[in-house]
A and B are shown apart, each in its own frame.
Chain A
Amino acid sequence: MGDKEDYNWHYLTQLKMRIHAHQKVCECLLREGTLSLAQVIRFTQLSKQNVTNALLVLVQHNCVQAFTIQLPGGFEEEPKIMTQYMALHTNIIHHMRFPKFLAIVSKEFGEECKEIFEGLLQHGRLSFNQIMDRHKDKHKADITNGENSTAANVLHENFNKLAQAHYIERCPAHEPFLEPPEQGAKKRTSKSKIADAPPTLEARALAAATPMESLRFLVDVDTLSNGALEDDSKNSPATDIVGEKRKHDCLEPETDIWATNKNKEILWRVNFEEFVRRLRQKFCVSHVTTSLDRGAGIVLNAIYEASRKEETKVKMETTVPLTMDTILEETMKSEEGRSLKLDGVKASLVQLGCEVSAIDFDSDTHSIDLKKIIDQAQSQEVESIVLKKYGREAYRIFRALLKHETLYETDKISIDTFVEKKDVLKILLQLLKDDFVQMERLGNEAQKMDILLWKIHKRSLWAQVLDDMYHAALNLKLRLVHELEQAKDILKGKAVGAEVVQKRKRVGEKWKVLESSLMVLDDAIMLFHDF
């Protein structure tokens, strides 16, 4: 377990160097977990100013979330309000996915939206006015005064498009206040006590910070004018009151650092969640296209399009139920969809696991098992590792075990997989050594020897594979740094000549291979971690 955390952490630390903000503070929060300002100062041994600045940048780039809690007071002592900082692991990893996000926006909405979006990626958080300023700055040369207002309108329109698509969102509250847990626990009914374990402090903080759904993507008309809405941290009654209270009497100096909010403008940022959702959808479509056929991909894509606004979370287990009419209508919107016709759509739905009867009633709805698609893709990734590492027979054995689910006897495996008994045992022991399978012994008096039973612990194996992926990603990254380091002189030097050009070209090629492998590997990491 320790190892697992380690690689994830190493990897994150490497990545965060990309946003080159105060490595030490980020590293410290990733390693130690949620901390107060004083604790960060103690652990990092940096000055208060440095830590405060670093936190500011990390919050600005959505890598850290702050929240306040109330510490119980002692004898004759008032309870104390304290600000805590937590690292947002997933968001930090998302930084390496920016090219993927950018490609989605660019493809869907074109260059102008891409420009707005790029600004948000670069700066983490911006108000609409800041975006406008950036735009003006960039296009100073080609805009005359008369065109200024039209340009602003177009910009607003594009901004709106991004918000409507949920690609950008209002920033979460800077420092939501979390009620002391005891109080919360008391309020619970006896019924809810039996329910799941209470959410962690971090999960509560994230929930409290997120703007209400109705506000989250709302581009107010005020955004256009300079007088923006009020403080965006006022997003729920609870934080509202706390926000006020905080402002008046219990402000610690550290809460003043949020200079970005001094104009009281609503800040916007990229909504990573929506991109994970889109990437998951794209992944599922391309997976069924390769594993089933083109028609299945077209139909699944149409189902996604028709239910885009209705999906509530990223890890949807099934698609939103839709009637045949709706699916058909959406499919027919695209050229290649029209080529399928009604029968083709029906056949694809069947392939995707829906039960389609010959006569379809208006009330019949269909939804597709997405979890199954994801499961299948994950299994395929692991199976391909087994195939390459241990060969075709091991692959067959491994797939048999995955299918079997319960304990499986060596002899039975041999029979079902057409692998000689002694070879089966050899392969299984090898897989056991590398933790791909588990073994149990069953004493057998009659044969005076133990019967060996085998199975796959999917959950722990998948976690191990994901950990290896992080490790591999870290290695790719380190190798990339190493290659650049090696080639420093060649890249920097002014020397020309066929040999140097050739060398530079080779470094470029190596870099390309490493970078693109990292992107492909990241798709797989998302498959195991985010989908």
Chain B
Amino acid sequence: MSLLNKRKKPESKTTSGLLDSDKKVLNVIKSKKESAIWLRDLKRDSDLADPIVTKSLKNLITAGLIKEVKHVQFKGRKHYIAAEFEPSQEITGGSWYVDGNLDTAFIEQLKETCLKVIRKLKVATAEGVYDFFKTNRLTNTECTSQQISEILRSMVLDNMIIDVKSTGLAEYHKIPVGQECYRCIAGDKAPITGAMVSIPCGVCPRIRQCTPDGLISPSTCVYFNKWLEF
């Protein structure tokens, strides 16, 4: 309740026309600050009947005192936050999320551009790629050097590029020895395929149930039939 008292003053103007129930709901929402509150918790904490809470929420939204936010982890659950707060990272998912969804289009586009930059530079640090972005105005959207670093690291996981330590020799001569940098995969070849993935059993979901004389067996196997159909 102490929170409520503290905040009373700045609110007095805007809350003047509200019903008691509206105020109660508003206070609960405000008490959660940037963490926002789930509708069910709100109903419990405000101790009001459901239709009243629903009505209050409507009023408060119309008055511009609260807003609804999408929770990145629980998209089906309605969450509310007071207008003066920005939702926390836990709710938005961080800088890569828009409206609670991972901004995959933006990420893919950034990856593509990064790949082109690295191909051009042959080898570059994260900072180097970022500088290239800045001087050449490569994206319409603002992005930070932190974001570029994150993108590059995920590209390593994608096996689109590899991370190496600079040797200071040849093409690394501009990069201090030992500094982490990125380069393209040799010859831009298609990813090397393994031995197991080129045969049906190698990726078969049934392999554990498959036995020489069992119900599922190599001689009756449909995957094999299909594979040897030519």
The answer to whether B169 and A381 have CB atoms under 8 Å apart is: no
Whose C-beta in chain B lies nearest to the C-beta of A290? B192
Cα distance A129–B194 in the bound complex, in angstroms? 45
Q: Which residues of A contact B207 (CB under 8 A)?
A: 468, 471-472
Q: Is A385 an interface residue (CB 8 A)?
A: yes
Interface readout for B110-153 with A: 1 if CB under 8 Å, 0 if not? 00000000000000000000000000000000000000001001
Which one, B187, B205, B212, B221, contacts A474 given CB within 8 A? B212
Q: Count A-B pairs with CB separation below 8 Å.
A: 130
Per DSSP, chain B at the interface is loop
Which one, B187, B193, B205, contacts A293 given CB within 8 A? B187
Q: Which residues of B contact A419 (CB under 8 A)?
A: 102
Whose C-beta in chain B lies nearest to the C-beta of A421? B73
Q: Which residues of B contact A417 (CB under 8 A)?
A: 154, 157
Cα distance A482–B134 in the bound complex, in angstroms? 64
The answer to whether A388 and B218 have CB atoms under 8 Å apart is: no
Q: Which of B69-109 contact A (CB under 8 A)?
A: 72-73, 93-94, 96, 101-102, 104, 107
Q: Is A523 an interface residue (CB 8 A)?
A: yes
Q: Which residues of B contact A403 (CB under 8 A)?
A: 157
Q: Is A103 an interface residue (CB 8 A)?
A: no
Q: Is B1 an interface residue (CB 8 A)?
A: no
Whose C-beta in chain A lies nearest to the C-beta of B196? A385
Of the listed stretches A50-58, A200-208, A509-517, chain B binds A509-517
Q: Which residues of A contact B221 (CB under 8 A)?
A: 475, 479
The answer to whether A510 and B228 have CB atoms under 8 Å apart is: yes
Cα distance A524–B157 in the bound complex, in angstroms? 23
Cα distance A391–B58 in the bound complex, in angstroms? 43
Cα distance A387–B72 in the bound complex, in angstroms? 26
Q: Is B3 an interface residue (CB 8 A)?
A: no
The contact size tier of chain B is: 35 or more
Cα distance A365–B59 in the bound complex, in angstroms? 79
Q: Is B159 an interface residue (CB 8 A)?
A: yes
Q: Is A24 an interface residue (CB 8 A)?
A: no
Interface readout for A483-523 with B: 1 if CB under 8 Å, 0 if not? 10000000000000000000000100110011001001101
Which one, B153, B186, B195, contacts A290 given CB within 8 A? B186
Cα distance A468–B72 in the bound complex, in angstroms? 38
The answer to whether A290 and B189 have CB atoms under 8 Å apart is: yes
Known interface pairs A385-B194, A468-B207; A420-B102 also in contact (CB < 8 Å): yes
Which one, B104, B192, B230, contacts A509 given CB within 8 A? B230
Which one, A356, A383, A468, contacts B169 given CB within 8 A? A356
Q: Is B210 an interface residue (CB 8 A)?
A: yes
Q: Which residues of B contact A517 (CB under 8 A)?
A: 198-199
The answer to whether B228 and A396 have CB atoms under 8 Å apart is: no
Per DSSP, chain A at the interface is helix
Known interface pairs A10-B212, A416-B154, A478-B218; A385-B202 also in contact (CB < 8 Å): yes
The answer to whether A347 and B202 have CB atoms under 8 Å apart is: no
Cα distance A151–B10 in the bound complex, in angstroms? 110
Q: Which residues of A contact B96 (CB under 8 A)?
A: 418
Q: Which residues of B contact A385 (CB under 8 A)?
A: 194, 196-197, 202-203
Whose C-beta in chain B lies nearest to the C-beta of A296? B186
Q: Which residues of A contact B191 (CB under 8 A)?
A: 384, 387
Known interface pairs A350-B169, A384-B191, A468-B196; A478-B219 also in contact (CB < 8 Å): yes
Cα distance A422–B102 in the bound complex, in angstroms? 11
Q: Which residues of A contact B150 (CB under 8 A)?
A: 415-416
Whose C-beta in chain B lies nearest to the C-beta of A384? B194
Q: Which of A367-406 contact B (CB under 8 A)?
A: 380-385, 387-389, 392, 395-396, 399-400, 403
Which one, B158, B170, B195, B218, contacts A521 given CB within 8 A? B195
Q: Is B46 an interface residue (CB 8 A)?
A: no
The answer to whether A478 and B196 have CB atoms under 8 Å apart is: no
Q: Is A292 an interface residue (CB 8 A)?
A: yes
CB distance from A276 to the nearest CB of B (A): 17
Cα distance A391–B102 in the bound complex, in angstroms? 18
CB distance from A427 to the nearest CB of B (A): 13
CB distance from B46 to the nearest CB of A (A): 21
Q: Which residues of B contact A416 (CB under 8 A)?
A: 150, 153-154, 157
The answer to whether B94 and A524 have CB atoms under 8 Å apart is: no
Q: Is A147 an interface residue (CB 8 A)?
A: no
Interface readout for A166-195 with B: 1 if CB under 8 Å, 0 if not? 000000000000000000000000000000
Q: Which of B188-230 contact A (CB under 8 A)?
A: 189, 191-199, 201-203, 205, 207, 210, 212, 217-219, 221, 224, 228, 230
Interface readout for B173-196 with A: 1 if CB under 8 Å, 0 if not? 000000000000011010111111
Which one, A293, A389, A395, contacts B186 given CB within 8 A? A293
Q: Is B167 an interface residue (CB 8 A)?
A: yes
Cα distance A319–B36 in the bound complex, in angstroms? 60
The answer to whether A381 and B219 have CB atoms under 8 Å apart is: no
- Scoring B193, B194, B221 by chain A CB atoms within 10 A of each residue's CB, the highest score goes to B194
Q: Which residues of B contact A479 (CB under 8 A)?
A: 218-219, 221, 224
The answer to whether B193 and A513 have CB atoms under 8 Å apart is: no
The answer to whether B194 and A524 have CB atoms under 8 Å apart is: yes
The answer to whether A483 and B228 have CB atoms under 8 Å apart is: yes
Cα distance A382–B169 in the bound complex, in angstroms? 33
CB distance from B117 to the nearest CB of A (A): 18
CB distance from B220 to the nearest CB of A (A): 9
Q: Which 10 A-B pairs have the closest CB atoms?
A: A384-B194, A524-B195, A472-B201, A482-B219, A475-B218, A381-B194, A388-B197, A478-B218, A479-B218, A396-B157
Q: A416-B153, A472-B201 known; 17 other A-B pairs, CB under 8 Å?
A: A290-B186, A380-B194, A384-B194, A385-B196, A388-B202, A396-B157, A396-B158, A468-B196, A468-B201, A468-B202, A472-B196, A474-B212, A476-B199, A479-B218, A479-B224, A520-B195, A521-B196
Chain A interface (Cβ < 8 Å from any Cβ of B): 10, 290-293, 343, 346-347, 350, 355-356, 358, 380-385, 387-389, 392, 395-396, 399-400, 403, 415-422, 465, 468-469, 471-472, 474-476, 478-479, 482-483, 506, 509-510, 513-514, 517, 520-521, 523-524
28 contacts between A and B (CB under 8 A): A291-B192, A292-B186, A346-B169, A350-B170, A381-B195, A382-B194, A384-B194, A385-B197, A387-B197, A389-B203, A389-B205, A399-B157, A399-B159, A416-B157, A421-B73, A421-B93, A472-B201, A472-B202, A474-B218, A475-B210, A475-B218, A476-B199, A476-B218, A509-B230, A514-B228, A521-B195, A521-B196, A521-B199
